[in-house]
Structure 1
Amino acid sequence: MIKCLNKYGIAFEATYPSTAVQKGMPLWHHPGEDHQKRQVNNGEVASCLRKNHASITIGNGMDLAKRLEDPLHEGKASCDCVACEEDRTTRGCNDPHACVRSAASRLRQILPKWIPTPDEEGRQIPGTFQTAKEEETGLFKPPNGISTISQDLRAMTLRIDEPKERTATPVQRRRAVARPIPTKMEIHISGVTHAPSSNRARTAAGVFVKSDDEGNKGVCIPSAEEQSQYVAELYAALAAVR
C-alpha cells in the first residue's frame, strides 16, 4: 500500500509514531528499513512467514520472535515445544525454528524508531516535551502523538510544470558563491578648500590608493553643500568606500 502511495506523491512521515502505529506497519518492504543492512524481503523462509505464519506486520513478527525467549523452545528444527508442533501440524511449516530466527532477524533490519520496546507502551511524545509540559514553561506546544497510520500520510502536490514521474535523485542544495577574502588597504583621503573666507569658497575631496591605481579619484563638492574641509573629508571617505 505504501509503495503505491509513494508512486502518486503520498509520503509517509511519522515523527513520533505510537506503539499501535509501529506494530501495524508492514514487516516487509518497510519504509523505515535500515539501508546500511542487507534487507531480506523475499526467499523461501520469508515466503513461509507470510503464507504459513501470517507474519505481515511488525506486531506479527514480534509475536513470533518472542518464542526465542521461551525456555521450552529448543533452537533446532526438531523442537517439540507446543508452538513449534502447532506450526508443523497445522500451518505446514517444516522448520519453525528457522522461521522464528528469520522473524527476529527481519526486525533487526528495520530502524529502531519503528520497533516498539516495553518502556514505550503508551508513549505519545518525547520525555523532554512531556517534562516541559508538566513544568508549564509555556515555551512551546508539545506535538500530538500519531495514533493511526493514516495520520502520517502527507500529500506532496506537483507544480504545473513539474513532471509526474518523480526522480529518486535528491535535490541538490545551491552552493554558496565563493567570495574573496578582504585584505587590508591603506587609503589616503583629503579635503581642500579654496578661498574659505569668501563667498567664492569651493571645496574638493581627493582619494589616493597608490600610483596609477584606478581607485584614485577627485571629487568636487556640490555648491549646495557647506564648503568646508570637514564636509570635503566626509565626501572623500564616501568616495573611498565606493
Structure 2
Amino acid sequence: MSWSPPTKGNKVSSLPQAAQTLLKTARKHNISFAPIKISKDMKKKLPVWNHIGTPTNAYHKIKTKCLNKTHKLTNIKDLIKIHKRLTHINNEDQHYPQKDCPCPACQKDHRIGCKDPHKCAQTANEILFKITPKFNTKTKPKKDGLTLTQRRLEKNHQAHKNRQGEILFDPTTTICSNLADSFRIFVDPEHISPTPAHRLRVPARGLNLLQDHITIFTNGSCINNRKENSQSGGSIWLRENHPKNLAFRIPGNKHSNQIANVGNEIPPGIYCPYYDSRQLVQCTTHPP
C-alpha cells in the first residue's frame, strides 16, 4: 500500500522516537505494498476497508455501514464468509434472497443486530467482485512452471531444518508466508500492476507471437448462388468494435457457398492464434 504518513504535528510528536524514525524512513524511501504474486491465503488476510486492490468507488458509505459497525469485518476472509450464503440458495442450508431469510447464517446476523443480512451479503459480493485480479481470491494462477515440486519443497524444508544438505533455489514469485514480505521500497506507485505476474510462454515456432489463443467467429455467404452473377464474401468477428473484425469479398469469378466458407469448415468458436487481415484466416483446431 502506498502511503504518505505525516512526519510532523501533535499526532506524530506523541509517538515514541523509534516510531517517528520508522515513519520518516518509510516515507523517504516510498515504502509500498507491492507483491509480484500473492497466495490465496495471504489475499484473505488483507484488510476489507481501503483495500489496495479496489477502485475508489468500491465502498458505499451507507451500504457498508452495517458490515463495518455491526458485523465488524476486518479482513477479506470475513467478507467471504458473509458473501458465501449467496451460494447456498439451492443447498441444504438454503438461503432466501429476502430481508427475513430463515437460514442459519442470516438468523445469526439478525441476533447481532443486522436488519437485512441478505442486503449485507450482496454488498459483500459487490466489494469482492471489484477487487483486481492480483488480490482477488477467485483469480486462478497460471501454471508457469516456476514453482518447485512438492517433493523438492519437502527436501528443502528438511535440509533447512537439519542444517545439512543442499537447498535448491525456489524460483516462485508468490508470497505465501507473511504479508510483511510484500512490502517494498523504492517503488513507483504509478507502475504497480494490478495483474499477477507469470512467466511468458515460448513463442510458437514460425510465428513471432506468443502462444496465446483467441476465440474468433467466422461466417460466409453467397448472393445468387450457382448463377453467373453470383458474388461471395466472408467475415471474421472477435468482439464488439475489435480492430481486427473483418468483412471481405472473395476475388475472382468463381463463387459459391463452399468458397465463401473457406476457413469456416470448423464450427464458429474455433481457436485461432493469429490471422492476417490481408488473407482469410489461419486457423487451428487445437484448443488451448
Q: Any idea what SS the aligned residue of 2:38 has?
A: coil
1:55 to 53, 73, 88: 73
Aligned residue pair count: 149
**What is the TM-score normalised by the length of structure 1?**
0.52
Amino-acid identity (%)? 26
Match of 2:181 in 1: 151
Residues in 1 aligned to 2:85 and 2:184: alpha-carbon distance in whole angstroms: 37
Is the counterpart of residue 31 in structure 1 residue 37 in structure 2? no
Q: Render the CA deviation track for 1:50-93: whole Å, top value 9, x for unaligned.
A: 1211222111111111100113110011111111111112x211
How far residue 110 of structure 1 moved from its aligned partner, in angstroms, is 0.6
> Where in structure 2 are the equivalents of 1:112-151 lying within 5 Å?
112-117=133-138, 126-130=143-147, 142-146=171-175, 147-151=177-181
How far residue 130 of structure 1 moved from its aligned partner, in angstroms, is 2.9
**What is the TM-score normalised by the length of structure 2?**
0.44
Match of 1:75 in 2: 97
Match of 1:22 in 2: 43
> Where in structure 2 are the equivalents of 1:82-101 lying within 5 Å?
82-89=104-111, 91-101=112-122
Is the counterpart of residue 44 in structure 1 residue 65 in structure 2? no
How far residue 49 of structure 1 moved from its aligned partner, in angstroms, is 0.4
Retained in 2: the 8 A contact 1:32–1:110? yes
Letter in 2 for 1:150: A
Retained in 2: the 8 A contact 1:27–1:107? no
Retained in 2: the 8 A contact 1:39–1:109? no
Q: Any idea what SS the aligned residue of 1:105 has?
A: helix
Letter in 2 for 1:130: T
How far residue 131 of structure 1 moved from its aligned partner, in angstroms, is 7.3
Structure 2's unaligned 5+ residue stretches are 6-22, 152-168, 192-288
Retained in 2: the 8 A contact 1:10–1:153? yes
Structure 1 or 2: more helix by fraction: 1
Q: Which has the higher contact order (CA 8 A, sep 6+)?
A: 1
Structure 1's unaligned 5+ residue stretches are 135-139, 158-165, 171-242
Match of 1:219 in 2: none
1:83/1:104 CA distance change after superposition, 3 Å:
same
Match of 1:235 in 2: none
Match of 1:160 in 2: none
Q: Render the CA deviation track for 1:67-125: whole Å, top value 9, x for unaligned.
A: 00113110011111111111112x211100000010011001111221224977xxxx9
Retained in 1: the 8 A contact 2:58–2:127? yes
Residues in 2 aligned to 1:169 and 1:118: alpha-carbon distance in whole angstroms: 23
Retained in 1: the 8 A contact 2:82–2:121? yes
Q: Any idea what SS the aligned residue of 2:58 has?
A: coil
